[in-house]
A and B are shown apart, each in its own frame.
Chain A
Amino acid sequence: MMGRLPAWADVVLIPLMSIIAAFGISALVILYIGENPWEALKLMVDGALGSAYGWGYTLYYATNFMFTGLAVSIAFRASLFNIGGEGQAMLGGLGVAVVALALPWPHWTLALPAAMLGAIVFGAAWAAIPAWLQARRGSHIVITTMMFNFIGAALLNYVLVNILRPAGSMDPATARFPKGAHLPTLHDLPLIGSYFDKNTPANITLFVALAACVAVWYLLFRSRLGYAIRAFGKSESAAVYAGISPFRITMYVMLLSGGLSGMMAINNVMGEAERLVLNAVEGAGFIGIAVALMGRNHPFGVFLAALLFGFLYQGGAELGLWTTIPIELRTVVQALVILFTGALDNMMRMLVERIFALGHRRRAA
């Protein structure tokens, strides 16, 4: 029977088992490569968490994934699958670059809010077109957002090559941002600075991401809009009965989702590269899907899942460096997490239910 599980099993046990399944299969892959999975895990832990350098990178990646994870999960909450986080983050980068290069910023405290605004506007705009097409024309939002990833990449390429590339440069990238638009790294901060290595890219954006997690929680669970979003996502017919407009919710949610994806750019573009390069997003938009699924579309879950994926990314990079395990192991783990938590969740649920049924029978006997 479906739906006979206690709440904690649904929220904790099933995702946990999905992760165990994903990591278990990954361990088999590592065995196949001829390495020891346990050693590999130790190396990952050591590389990602064992040093100031390691966790600096882990947190940097996690920051990216918090934004894209929140973006995907807020759309999922409205039953919309935004697969376009990649393109929206790319455009967000463009927004950041336009703002950062527009003025000789005197100080980052002024540049940051302006750049955030740029990131949000560009990211949201890139999500708005698929949203409108879905709400008004019924165009399948998964396909349109996917197409917009490619169109976004081409657009960015054009802008970088033909407009923002400094004269004389061969590189399809913008000029470096002015000094006043450089964000302080965690190492630069008072109090906590000494815990971080100065060569890691983790920066103040981490706190923006944490604030975004909290803000999205408030939005989803404490605001009228969030209430309407969740209601619409659970039942469109009931939402219509309650006077919630599907068109408006679709637009709002996708604007929020695109804005969040775009915000990622303040981390990777403004905080790390300090200029806009062609492939700045590096798949973080897609990782957002895995993060959202694993975090069960809850901001706190997204936060945890983003940390896990930050660990996976940094740890995986270390594996690539020190063992014969290629860095692409990360992609495999990511794929398995998406597969088990997103596509095979019914299988995992049936499994857990069977275990529970067994337990009941035993107790009854």
Chain B
Amino acid sequence: MEFSTLIQVLDSGVRLGIPLLLACLAGLYSERSGVFDIGLEGKMLMGAFAAGAVASITGSAWLGLAAAIGGSLALAAIHGLASITFRGNQLISGVAINFLASGLTVLIGQNLFHLGGRTPPIKGAARFESITLPGADALRDVPVIGPVYYDLISGHTILVYIAFAIVPLTWFLLFRTRFGLRLRAVGENPESVDTAGVSVLRLRYTAVAMAGILCGIAGAYLATSAPSAGFGKEMTAGKGFIALAALIFANWRPWRALGATMLFGVLEAVAIRFQNIDVGLFVVPVQFMQALPYILTVVILAGFIGKATPPRAGGQAYVKER
């Protein structure tokens, strides 16, 4: 493989991996607090739609982002209500949220724009444009470093850099602050938090809301971050589930989430770029590359290689013991 091809594949891997990363971190907050979230897909879709719609109406990418967060938060609120307040089945709630987003985005979109569920194409200030980092142009022709800096590191939209910044931020929040300590505790043993006089409900709602915010950003990235130009029907296309797989793969840890989502992003980029890969002895079909994230996750779940240890209290509503 040529060096420039490698850079291109990695670059497209980053682009494909960013929504996964944001959604994966969203899931991380929620599940670390003990609330399963298979509704990442739906929240992201709702976010993408809200971003596309509002950005095209107002002409502002930032207002689009705010709307994306709002839309995603609304679904997160339903999830919180069902799984925290009413102690319903968190998995079923997630399934419902995915369908709700899938239907509502088209219904509202069609009503607003009459474009078969799409939002009008946007450009200029209505979308986040690529940023050329300082010195990128100057370094462009330097061998190796030039392409890496100019093509791979520079030239993304602000949301990409925000997403990367959220990784250390999440790590810091989770492992270096009071909030993080309590959040991790409530996902492991809510009784420990309750006996310490801290509200289990409030912590879990906060976590679910953070998941809403991050899924909103992920959606905004999909719809309004160049080169994309608006929302399209079902535009998340299963990314929420790959993010969930990445979360398991990352063992619910922020830095590993970065690794897993970038790996899955690059896998997708490779599948798109090369289709079937001839490794000499046999041909790796493109479909295998597409399924690889899911296969890897099942292998991890089975505990044959590595071990996925989800938060101990995950999936269970908290009821004070009587």
Contacts and interface: CB of A to CB of B under 8 A. Distances in A.
Given A144-B301, A155-B291, A158-B287, A335 B92 contact: no
Contact of B291 (A143, A154, A329): A154
B298 A328 contact: no
Given A147-B298, A329-B107, A332-B104, A154 B95 contact: no
Nearest to A162: B285
A338 B106 contact: no
B305 to A, nearest CB: 12
Contacts, number: 150
Contacts of A29: 104, 107
Nearest to B283: A162
A332 B92 contact: no
B84 to A, nearest CB: 11
A323 to B, nearest CB: 11
A329 B93 contact: no
Nearest to A159: B287
Contacts of B106: 326, 328, 331
Interface stretch (A93-101, A178-186, A244-252, A344-352): A344-352
- Interface size range of chain A in the complex: 35 or more
Interface string A132-157: 01000111101110111011011101
Contacts of B100: 332, 335-336, 339
Nearest to A35: B111
B294 A150 contact: yes
- Interface size range of chain B in the complex: 35 or more
Interface in B224-265: 238, 241, 244-245, 248
A344 B301 contact: no
B274 interface: no
A286 interface: yes
A20 interface: no
Nearest to B88: A343
A331 B103 CA distance: 5
A265 interface: no
Contacts of B97: 335, 339
B3 interface: no
Nearest to A129: B298
Contact of B107 (A326, A336, A339, A343): A326
B294 A334 contact: no
12 contacts: A147-B245, A151-B291, A151-B294, A151-B295, A158-B288, A326-B106, A331-B103, A332-B99, A334-B103, A338-B99, A344-B82, A347-B86
Interface of A: 29, 32-34, 81, 83, 133, 137-140, 142-144, 146-148, 150-151, 153-155, 157-158, 161-162, 286, 289, 293, 324-326, 328-336, 338-339, 342-347, 350
